[in-house]
Structure 1
Amino acid sequence: MIIISTQAFPPDSGGKQTLMKGLAKAAAAHDSVMVLADRPRETGGIVDENAPYSRLQFGGPKFIRQRLKAAYIAKLVKENAVSRIFCDSWRSAEHLPKNLGPSVVIYAHGNEYPLDTSKVKRLKAVFEKVDHIIAVSSQTAQRVGNAVGGASTPKIHIVHNPVEPAAPISAEDETFAEQLWPSDGIRLLSLCRLIDWKGVDMAITAVAELRGKDVPAQLVIAGIGDDRPRLEARVNEHELTDHVHFAGRVEGGRKSALFESADIFMQPGRKIGDQCEGFGITYIEAGLHGLPSIAGDAGGAPDAVIDGKTGLVVDGTNQSVVTKALLRLIDEPALGHHMGQAAKAHGRTLLWDTQIKQILDLTADEKSGI
């Protein structure tokens, strides 16, 4: 049995949720999988009723559900042949008993490791229970080491986030996606949780600057998050209500159709405080649909978008640089097409079907059994 302990799991939306669901589905082809997840916080998401894994939800206050989950894991280990325990982050491993027996693996995304040393004591205590850390980017791996002040860590493996194949598209999905585009011109897409460091505001301003140069451009922003009111204010400030559309949460075939209907994926993220992109699954998902990306150079995004090959990596704090990168892709359509095809090929190398064996092999040792 493989156990996945996670705070983040669908139907909630987000990169971690997508990653943990993909891990559960892919691992289920190799062993039985039990997912222990927090109770969903969001409504309206798609629930996979035919999932090949078992799932148990934990509610209540955080400090209670964390301990209940850890106790249940110990019970499962005692009663079953458990090979591995995957945790979505170090926080999901914090209350595990020591010396459980199975290999304990934690994912590291980046932002959960502070740039200061405020959590060194807690991290060191967790690392004593952990056998492997999967860092989703090279920047994240470096951040893990910095967070514990150079102290010894478990084995760190850099494994870029795998993705699932695109969901099939129905005629209704195609109609839905087409109706989202608000006006004319080049079709730009941002799809993410709406957080200030994602750089969606820079995409909005780029549309304004292009239209000011008589270059028609439009933008669909898909996703939910607390930054939406600020982004809507920027749209109003630039008088772009006819050219920028907020689509809300988009999933499944509708999400695939939206990617297929776009020309460029644009998410020029940046670092704000301690926060930045850990990797960026949506860049890879966009690539599977042949879209070149414009990404910021902060965090792990340069691992997801290969600068000059699958897209352009720019200074996400510099509006002029962001807009120039967009203009380059518009003015050089052959370049954009070439990058889109390279992004598609790159995305195929990161499909779960091919990546899960690597993950299981990396995390196998004397304790794991497989």
Structure 2
Amino acid sequence: MGRALIVTNDFPPRAGGIQAFVHGLASRRPPDSVIVYAPRWKGSEAFDERQPYEVVRHSGTLMLPTPAVARRAAELADGCDTVVFGAAAPLGLLAPRLRAAGAGRVVMLTHGHEAGWARLPVARDLLRRIGEGADVVTYLGDYTRRSLASVIPESKLTRLAPGVDVSAFRPGAGGADVRKSLGIEDRPVVVCVSRLVPRKGQDMLIRAWPLVLRRLPDAALLLVGGGPSRTALQRAAAGLVARGSVVFSGPVPWADLPAHYDAGDVFAMPCRTRLAGLDIEGLGIVYLEASATGLPVVAGSSGGAPDAVRQGETGLIVDGTSPERIAEALVELLSDPAAARAMGKRGRAWIEEQWGWDRVADRFERILTGTAVPDSPRH
């Protein structure tokens, strides 16, 4: 097995779905077969000490394709067979320099923002240049594939979506204790686990919540996570918070996330596309983690989010710009607990069958070695 250098801006201890995805790929390879080059974040040293493989940190919190970053990456690429870019844009522009340093194979992962780049003229040209430097460009699902195929040759495209740790994200993962600690026992609970930013739709959940309370006055909305929108969201929910129907947990450690999913009866993140298509949901690992925990999900129709839901089977897809549609979906699921549980059970089975980490890690290895076969649809 050859050695791979992973060059990425997205890596723990910074929280996020892409960070968890890239970390999961690195962690499932033999320790001596991977080295990671990533930015420095608060808590990096302690985090890196716990990893069985080498992590090299950039001096700042963001890496751009500058000469200094290129030089350091080239030094680290010495002795590596493959270079993996945790996100193709913009660091994939370094690919020619790393090939010159000896990298025989270049693999680039893409997420939602590359699909956004494909929509804009200048960004499209940069993405085309990035794709020219790759042997393989991965995509998350049908939406991102269609977007990328307008810029990158289809012969280079292959699917690689995140995996879910089904042993951690499972029914009975500790939700009862979370409910008790937050004072929401014996109430119908909608939970949203995500960074608090406009695209994720927590603001629309709060706007929809009075409509939900008209039908289900004892329901509670649990918002898990931190982010720049927290103060604005708390102001928007001020009256509802006072009545105990909207609860902010704040950010929680990764190890506690399964229990917070498990505290809900329904998971909802009504994401929406913003900024003329530049701010878009690539997939939505949270929907998969919620399904693994046995929850029915309510997802927004942004970008590739529908690829993480089987409409009507594991969840409902709604217009994330409509509080009315969001409220209707939530009331439908909360009002029929038996049907909601059945939907969650189907979601759990789907995750176990299609989204387990063993399957993803095996595919990643085949992509690195050039032996991957065309993948079958998830749906």
Q: Which one has a larger percent helix, Structure 1 or Structure 2? A: 2
3-state DSSP of counterpart to 2:122: coil
In structure 2, the partner of 1:362 is 367
Alpha-carbon distance in structure 1 between the residues aligned to 2:254 and 2:325: 33
| Paired residue type of 2:324 | S
CA gap 1:46/1:199 in 2 versus in 1, 3 angstroms: farther
Cα displacement string for residues 57-85 of structure 1 (whole angstroms, at most 9, x for unaligned residues): 0014856785444323323333x2x2321
**Alignment partner, residue 109 of structure 1:** 111
Match of 1:85 among 73, 83, 86: 83
Counterparts of 1:46 and 1:209, CA distance in 2? 45
Residues 1:345 and 1:181: Cα distance change in structure 2 (over 3 Å): farther
The letter for the 2-side match of 1:56 is V
Aligned counterpart, 1:121: 125
1:206 aligns to what? 208
Matched residue type, 2:70: A
SS of the aligned residue for 2:268 comes to strand
Cα gap change, 1:116 to 1:171, in 2 (>3 Å): closer
Change (3 A) 1:106 1:44: closer
The TM-score with structure 1 as length reference comes to 0.87
CA deviations over 1:205-250 (Å, ceiling 9, x no partner): 3332122234321011111111212211220265655211111111
- Alpha-carbon separation, structure 2, partners of 1:347 and 1:327: 25
What's the CA shift for 1:354?
2.0
Q: Which residue pairs with 1:73 in the alignment?
A: 73
The structure-2 alpha-carbon separation of the partners of 1:265 and 1:111, relative to structure 1 and needing over 3 Å to count, comes to same
- The aligned counterpart of 1:298 is 302
Match of 1:217 in 2: 219
Q: Kindly tell me: are residues 181 and 314 of structure 1, through their superposed partners in 2, closer, same or farther at Cα, counting changes over 3 Å? A: farther
Corresponding residue of 1:264: 266
Of 190, 193, 206, which residue of structure 1 is paired with 2:192?
190
Partner of 1:278: 282
2:135 is equivalent to residue 131 of structure 1? yes
Bigger drift between 183-192 and 13-22 goes to 183-192
Amino acid at match of 1:141: R
Q: Distance in 2 between matches of 1:135 and 1:13?
A: 21
Cross-structure match for 2:349: 345
Note the C-alpha offset of 1:22: 0.5
Q: TM-score, normalised by structure 2?
A: 0.85
Change (3 A) 1:214 1:188: closer
Three-state SS of the structure 1 residue aligned to 2:112 is: coil
Which residue number in structure 2 is paired with residue 323 of structure 1?
Answer: 327
The answer to whether the Cα contact below 8 Å between 2:6 and 2:34 also exists between their aligned partners in 1 is: yes
Contact 2:65 2:91 in 1 (8 A): no
Distance 1:294 1:152, change over 3 A: same
* Partners of 2:93 and 2:130 within 8 A in 1: yes
| SS of residue matched to 2:212 | helix
1:164–1:345 Cα change, 3 Å: same
Any conservation in 1 of the 2:65–2:94 contact (CA below 8 Å)?
no
Contact conserved, 2:220 with 2:245, CA < 8 A, in 1? Answer: yes
Structure 2 SS opposite 1:27: coil
Find the aligned partners of 2:321 and 2:356 in 1 and give their Cα distance.
Answer: 31
Query: CA offset at residue 307 of structure 1?
Result: 0.7
Partner of 1:163: 164
**Secondary structure at the counterpart of residue 341 of structure 1:** helix
Q: Give the Cα–Cα distance (whole angstroms) in 2 for the partners of residues 101 and 359 of structure 1.
A: 17
In structure 1, list runs of 5 or more residues that go unmatched.
none
Query: Equivalent residue for 1:15?
Result: 17
The alignment's C-alpha RMSD in Å is 2.9
Distance 1:278 1:64 in 2: 21
| SS in structure 1 of the partner of residue 320 of structure 2 | coil
Matched letter for residue 283 of structure 2:
F
